[in-house]
Amino acid sequence: MDKRTIVVTGAQGQLGHDMVELLQALGFEVFGLGRQELDITDLERCAAVLTAINPEAIVHTAAYTQVDAAETDSEEAFRVNAFGTRNLAIVAERLGAKLVYVSTDYVFGGQGTLPYAEDQATQPINVYGSSKLAGETYVQEHCSRFFIARTSWVYGMHGNNFVKTMLKLAQERPVLSVVSDQIGCPTYSRDLAACIAEMLDTEKYGIYHVSNAGSCSWYEFAQAIFESAGVSVQVVPVTTEQFPRPAKRPAYSVFTHRALARNGFEPMRHWRLALDVFMLEMAAVKERS
């Protein structure tokens, strides 16, 4: 084929959608595959579909992402996030394809107060984090040309996310309670996609932390969302204890971006700037529709 070929799993998802769009704009031939086209949990089917395409790279964004549901549905979370990822790693290695596996800040326990480096010990505290970490392990065991891109607090134009939820709730309620004792790094899905696309153009394999720069609490994030959107709503800070969920969340899962810097990749812009850009783009989409 004249054009380089890339497969994107989870193509209907938030990141997958942006990934397909960006790679096509960059001139790649992109096969955006959803669950119907590619059942990653079936090794033989995976091998058949991917061998027919014979891609140069696979960007694996498909995942079981229901953090709370995973606590009681651990078998399915591991089937998708761990064993599905293992299948892709095995097939990628057979084909000599690069593999990008999108992982999560939830591989860390979050008990510290200093940003996590890529080589720090992992210690997931929920089933979702454990299943994604198992996926990381399989990638490293079965594939020699891999990028593991850990990210966090992702939002974008497609699918559900915290930004959209906050804006919707603000239309329904005058007062919103938001957790203030969990600190992390918001990440705009288009910025994440751009960073992954940059990685694909290299042989600089390894584990990367990919999030927008800076950090905040969910409460501060919510405040910034309403400020950027020009929405007036009262936001009340609450503790994690006051807002219990089935799955534990890391209290502090801020990233360093040492691997990106060390390998000469573009630094990620600050999360506040990325949020403002997203808000402008959302407003433009609303105007067009």
| pLDDT of 3 | 63
Residues 38, 45: contact at Cβ < 8 Å? yes
pLDDT band, very low/low/confident/very high, at 1 (cuts 50, 70, 90):
very low
pLDDT digits (tens, 9 = 90+) for 251-268: 999 999 999 999 999 899
Burial degree of 5 (CB within 10 A; 0-12, 13-18, 19+): middle
| pLDDT per position as a tens digit, 86-123 | 999 999 999 999 999 999 999 999 998 999 999 999 99
Confidence at 288, pLDDT banded by 50, 70, 90: confident
Within 10 Å of residue 27's Cβ, how many Cβ atoms? 10
Pairing of strands 5-9, 29-33: parallel
Average pLDDT of 3-26? Answer: 95
Rg, C-alpha atoms of the chain: 19
Average pLDDT (148-167) is 96
What is the overall mean pLDDT for the chain? 95
Residue 92 in contact with residue 143, Cβ under 8 Å?
yes
The structural domains of the chain, ordered by start, are 5-161+186-213+254-270 (3.40.50.720)
Burial class (CB in 10 A: 0-12, 13-18, 19+), 265: middle
**Backbone torsion region of residue 70, taken as left when φ is above 0, otherwise alpha when ψ lies between -120 and 50, otherwise beta:** alpha
**Nearest by Cα to 136 from 149, 123, 120:** 149
- Mean pLDDT on 177-189: 97
**pLDDT at position 163, please?**
97
Please give the backbone phi and psi of residue 102, each rounded to the nearest 5 degrees, phi first: -85, 115
What is the distance between the alpha carbons of residues 138 and 9, in angstroms, rounded to a whole number? 17
pLDDT of 240 > 50? The answer is: yes
Over pLDDT 70: what percentage of the chain? 99
Question: Which runs of E-coded beta strand occur in 74-201?
Answer: 98-104, 146-151, 154-155, 175-179, 183-184, 187-188
Active site residues: 128
Q: CB under 8 Å to 210, separation ≥6 — which residues? A: 149, 150, 151, 187, 192, 195, 196, 257, 260, 268
Interatomic CA distance for residues 234 and 223, integer angstroms: 9
